[in-house]
Chains A and B, each alone.
Chain A
Amino acid sequence: MTESTSASRAGEPLLVIDDLVVEYPAKGFRKQPFRALKGVSIDIKAGECVGLVGESGSGKTTLGRAVLGLAPVTGGSVRFKGQEIGHLSRKARRALSDEIQVVFQDPYSSLNPSLTIEQTLAEPLRVKKMSAADSSKRVRKLLDQVGLPSDAADRLPREFSGGQRQRIAIARALALSPELIVCDEPVSALDLSTQARVLDLFKDIQEETGVAYLFVSHDLAVVRHLSHRVAVMYHGEIVEYGDGDKVTSDPDHPYTQRLLLAAPVPDPIRQEQRRADRRRLLESQREMELQAGAV
């Protein structure tokens, strides 16, 4: 019994979020705070990619920010390697920087326009008191890892395209070899072909380094491509959570079903089919709702 408890402690996933509540205070006196997350539970194992799908306002970005310590945790817990990180002080939070990192959606505003790529990439290294020579070496290696030429180091962000900037953002996230990277819609602002290549980069890096991802996206196809498991968020709650293939191809929850059939397939013939399926699904869900209301 004791053995199994300790084993389960040792085997506890990398990140465990339990009944997490996040509330943003409303402006104005005695206004009800806005509850962005209403009790969310999710876990991520080492080396795993968990996809988080939802539409705007579903709370998916808030969940990512809560893990990063950028959103106010009102209730529940966020445990990273068994340590509670939901209410850390700024200082304690800073110490976590070599374990949890982030790649944001907007490759334009996520890089300081007035700093060169090297300055941006070296920032986390400098914080960890790495020497200038070592950090310069590390920066070249990072650039190489994300497929950028090493002369990129001396240039400014504005000289790069969206896809290249996102590679720089990924390099920054990798700088301290973290164990978990929160990816907040990292490919949504990118063109189709760039998107595919950046996703492959994410996959390669994961296979190489064993880093875990919390991958937030509104696009089921993107999440399906990269995620081992997928969670679907709706109105601040997780409505479906499970195997990536199952959730993205044969979901159980009515909302996920609607979401899946709403995305148009890039094939006119099959899209016609999907349109009919969607109409049927909406019809049947409406009927069920009516019946539920009648009862």
Chain B
Amino acid sequence: MSESAMTSNPPVAAEVRAARSHLARRMLKNPTGLAAIIVLALIILLAILADVLAPMDPSVANINDVLAPPSALHPLGGDSAGRDVLSRLLFATRFSIAGALWAVLIAAVIGVTSGLIAGYYQKWFETVSVWIISVIQALPGIVVLLAARAVVGPSLWLIMAVFGLILSPAFYRLTYTAVVGVRNELFVDAARVAGVGDVSIIGRHILSVVRAPIIIQAALLAGIGIAVQAGLDFLGLGDAKLVTWGQMLSDAFSRMYQAPTLLIWPSLAMALTSVALVLFGNALRDELERAAGKPKRRRRGVAAVAPKVATEKPVTHAEAQGDARSTLLEVKDLVVGYDQPDGSLKQVVNGVSLMVRKGEVHGLIGESGSGKTQTAWSILRLLPAGGRIVAGSVVFDGKDLAGLSERDMVKLRGRRISYIPQEPMSNLDPSFTIGSQLVEPMVVTLGISKAEAKQRALDLLGRVGLPDPQKTFSSYPHEVSGGQAQRVLIAGAVSCEADLIIADEPTTALDVTVQAEILELLRDLQNDLGVSILIVTHNFGVVADLCDRVSVMQNGLIVETGPARAIFADPQHPYTKALFEAILEDGAARGPLAHSADRNTVTVRSTVTEKSAR
């Protein structure tokens, strides 16, 4: 029972780590990402090497080459002024890309910096920056650009700088949201307490989180930058001294009927660049979102991995007296596993057998990772994606649930087996009233009218100890406390007269005084209704309070089972014993502090009080 035994399998952890820390490597393995990176790298290389690669000066016009067809001298022909199209294309790539990058750089510097400051310090800077950003966003971009063009003249760099300013809100909002999400993380607080300065915190702890989304955003905005810049040049508003894709387009457009192929080259360059940028952003986002590979479905025909069923039998305590109650649920040799990305199976429950009698409260106790919740979910057949019952049977009232169709299972859930979750708040839909969430299942499963169901819901809400059932009925989940929400869910669990309630840590998220009330309620309801309860918990106090019988789980196996009193009085299995030893209740108190400095204080204080008493 060392702590290391509780970590997930080391190879899995290493795998995850490798996958995460090498985002760049993963991008290269992603086919889309790789293609986009290659295309972008080529384009940038061409732009850089334009001087070397271009066969001639892009601005030298030769009257003989006006609209010349492709030839050895001019591989792509000549344009309307007799200039070499290939050379122009290469130089246009340089200036178009540079212009777009310039705009993105300006946008990123303004947006990211102000987003970081506003998100981290908030207060007045946040208020003011939000105003400014909103104003920028409200302005129609093209109109501003046209106006700016009129003021600053036909300069590519100045126009694109203005465009960068117009784009900056995109970076600002992104960064701001990310920073607000991270700034209250405990590791940021810990760094502050450790005396780390704000600049360091932002650089080390916050920027690392927002870095990747910023790159994605930059890629998308660069595409927009290229398009807008080309648009301005196409309209003839650009710098006539620099050749860009937009200018080439504009030139080709005027000779569309004489030389239609001239349109192709700049269009192709723009399309290729924009698509590559968008795909690059998408691939990066996909790689970020995918923490681990998707589990592969086992292909038909491939032999299933044989489940490893443990053969060790749990320590079983004898019943105090013969228990005549009939069996309601019998789980036998249950194995639950999750399909892994590499096609293997990760077993989390390794052959659990357990029995719940009619009217019995059975406690399933264990630490995190013991498989207790997985066992409960597989009884409900509600395992998360990738998980499945690999072997064994779950016989409920004579029917094996493990082999039941999903349709039959739906009929059973809620009607015969109901569920009380651990987190009451996240199990109520915030957009519906509590009443409607109680009424609907009853109408569906019991087939009663809405009015009847409402009356029943009100009765139940009163029954679970809510002081004002009518008010709770018409409230939304956020209007009630956690304890009240749990009462509502308990009302829901008993509303359809289920025979078995599976309660997954029903009091763990609650305060201890509320927990006591909920336990009291569960005990009362169980007495009144005679329902069986399978309660999953890690708290021995809860088991002692509520359970008739207990099964102790460790590593996906039940190690000890029997009547609660027998196990509490005389635990046998070493793991159970270790758990009992770790219980702090009734342990010795630490006692008062006894060291010299303290004694000093005490004496001084007592003399002071004596003096003042006199």
Q: Answer yes or no: B253 CB below 8 A from chain A CBs.
A: no
Residues of chain B in range 160-208 having any CB-CB distance to chain A below 8 Å: 185-187, 189-198, 200, 204-205, 208
Check if A114 sits within 8 Å of B589, measured CB to CB: no
Q: Would you list which residues of chain B between 359 and 404 have a CB under 8 Å from chain A?
A: 367-368
Q: In the docked arrangement, what's the CA distance between A221 and B584, Å? A: 6
Decide if A266 touches B196 in the complex (CB within 8 Å): no
Q: Is the CB of B605 within 8 A of A48?
A: no
A13 and B195 form a contact (CB under 8 A): no
Chain A interface residue count, Cβ-Cβ cutoff 8 angstroms: 93
Q: Is the CB of B14 within 8 A of A159?
A: yes
The segment from B35-43, B328-336, B533-541 found at the interface with A is B533-541
Interface string of A182-215 (1 = CB under 8 A from B): 0000000001111111010001000000100000
A228 touches B590 (CB 8 A): yes
Determine if B187 and A267 form an interchain contact, defined as CB atoms under 8 angstroms apart: no
Bound-state Cα–Cα, A248 to B587, Å: 11
Q: Does A2 contact B (CB under 8 A)?
A: no
- Residue from B186, B538, B608 within 8 A of A192 (CB atoms): B538
- Asked if A48 meets B598 with Cβ closer than 8 Å, knowing A4-B608, A70-B192, A194-B3, the reply is yes
**Interchain CB contact (< 8 A) of A259 among B513, B589, B604:** B513
Q: A94-B195, A97-B194 known; A191 and B6 CB under 8 Å?
A: yes
> Which residues of chain B are near A115, meaning CB under 8 Å?
204
Residue A131 is within 8 A (CB to CB) of chain B in the complex:
no
Most buried by B among A49, A96, A112, A128: A112
Whether A228 pairs with B540 at a CB distance below 8 angstroms is: no
Alpha-carbon separation in the docked complex, A111 to B190 (Å): 8
Given contacts A8-B608, A228-B591, A266-B583, whether A90 and B198 have CB atoms under 8 Å apart is yes
Contact A70/B189 with A47-B595, A218-B512 known, Cβ cut-off 8 Å: yes
- What are the residues of chain A within 8 A of B17 when measuring CB–CB? 155-156, 158-159
Contact pick for A128, options B186, B195, B367, CB 8 Å: B195
Q: In the assembly, what is the distance between CA of A164 and CA of B583, in Å?
A: 20
Q: In the complex the two chains form, is A193's CB within 8 Å of B1's CB?
A: yes
Asked if A163 and B6 sit within 8 Å, CB to CB, the answer is: yes
Interface centre among A94, A191, A224, A244 (most CB of B within 10 A): A191
Q: Quick one: given A228-B592, A258-B513, A264-B545, are A45 and B601 in contact (CB under 8 Å)? A: yes
Q: Is B586 an interface residue (CB 8 A)?
A: yes
Q: Which residues from 221 to 269 on chain A have a C-beta closer than 8 Å to any C-beta of chain B?
A: 221-222, 224-229, 243-245, 248-249, 258-259, 261-269
Dominant SS among interface residues on chain B? helix
The reply to whether A265 and B586 contact each other, CB–CB distance below 8 Å, is yes
Asked if A141 is at the interface (CB within 8 A of a chain B CB), the reply is: no
A163 to B198, CA, bound (A): 29
| Residue B519 lies at the interface, judged by CB distance under 8 Å to chain A | yes
**Is B321 interfacial (CB 8 A cutoff)?**
no
Are A160 and B21 CB-contacts (below 8 A) given A128-B195, A192-B538, A224-B584?
no
User: Which of chain B's residues has its CB closest to A243's CB?
Assistant: B592
Chain B CB within 8 A of A109 CB: yes
Shortest Cβ gap from B590 to chain A (Å): 6
Given A4-B607, A191-B538, A262-B513, A161-B4 contact (CB < 8 Å):
yes
A192 near B583: Cβ-Cβ < 8 Å: yes
Tell me which of B1, B14, B585 has the highest count of chain A C-beta atoms within 10 A of its own C-beta: B585
- B189 and A244 form a contact (CB under 8 A): no
User: B604's contact among A4, A249, A267, by CB below 8 Å, is which?
Assistant: A4
Interface string of A56-71 (1 = CB under 8 A from B): 1000000000001110
Given A192-B538, A193-B579, decide whether A221 and B193 contact each other with a Cβ distance below 8 A.
no
Partner of A124, one of B185, B194, B611: B194
The answer to whether B541 and A111 touch across the interface, beta carbons within 8 angstroms, is: no
Instruction: Mark out the residues of chain A between 15 and 74 whose CB falls within 8 Å of any chain B CB in the assembled complex.
Output: 45-49, 55-56, 68-70
Known: A192-B538, A222-B584. A278 touches B601 (CB 8 A): no
Q: Does A88 contact B (CB under 8 A)?
A: no
**Which of B187, B512, B545, B604 is the one whose CB lies under 8 Å from A112?**
B187
B187, A110: Cβ atoms closer than 8 Å: yes
A14 CB, min distance to chain B CBs, angstroms: 9
When C-beta atoms are compared, the residue in chain B nearest to A97 turns out to be B195
- Decide: A101 and B193 in contact? CB cutoff 8 A: yes
Q: Which residues of B lie under 8 Å from residue A244 when comparing CB positions?
A: 589-592
Give CA–CA (A96, B564) in the complex, Å.
51
Smallest CB separation, A139 vs chain B (Å): 14
C-alpha spacing A112/B611, complex, angstroms = 54
How far apart are B383's CB and chain A's nearest CB, in angstroms?
Answer: 22
Taken together as a complex, chains A and B put the C-alpha atoms of A47 and B195 apart, in Å, by 22
Asked if B208 and A114 make an inter-chain contact with CB atoms under 8 angstroms apart, the answer reads yes
Residue of A nearest to B523 (CB): A275
Decide if A117 is an interface residue (CB 8 Å cutoff).
no
Q: Answer whether residue A82 sits at the interface, using C-beta atoms and an 8 A cutoff.
A: no
6 more A-B contacts (CB under 8 A) besides A123-B196, A155-B17, A265-B585? A109-B185, A112-B205, A192-B367, A263-B516, A265-B544, A266-B568
A residues touching B (Cβ–Cβ < 8 Å)? 4, 7-8, 11-13, 45-49, 55-56, 68-70, 90, 94-98, 100-102, 104-106, 109-112, 114-115, 120, 123-124, 127-128, 155-156, 158-164, 169, 172, 175-176, 191-197, 199, 203, 210, 218-222, 224-229, 243-245, 248-249, 258-259, 261-271, 275, 278
* 8 tightest Cβ-Cβ pairs between the two chains A and B: A97-B195, A264-B541, A266-B540, A245-B589, A124-B194, A262-B516, A110-B186, A191-B367
Q: Can you list 10 A-B contacts (CB < 8 A)?
A: A4-B604, A4-B608, A94-B195, A97-B194, A101-B194, A161-B6, A172-B190, A192-B367, A228-B590, A275-B520
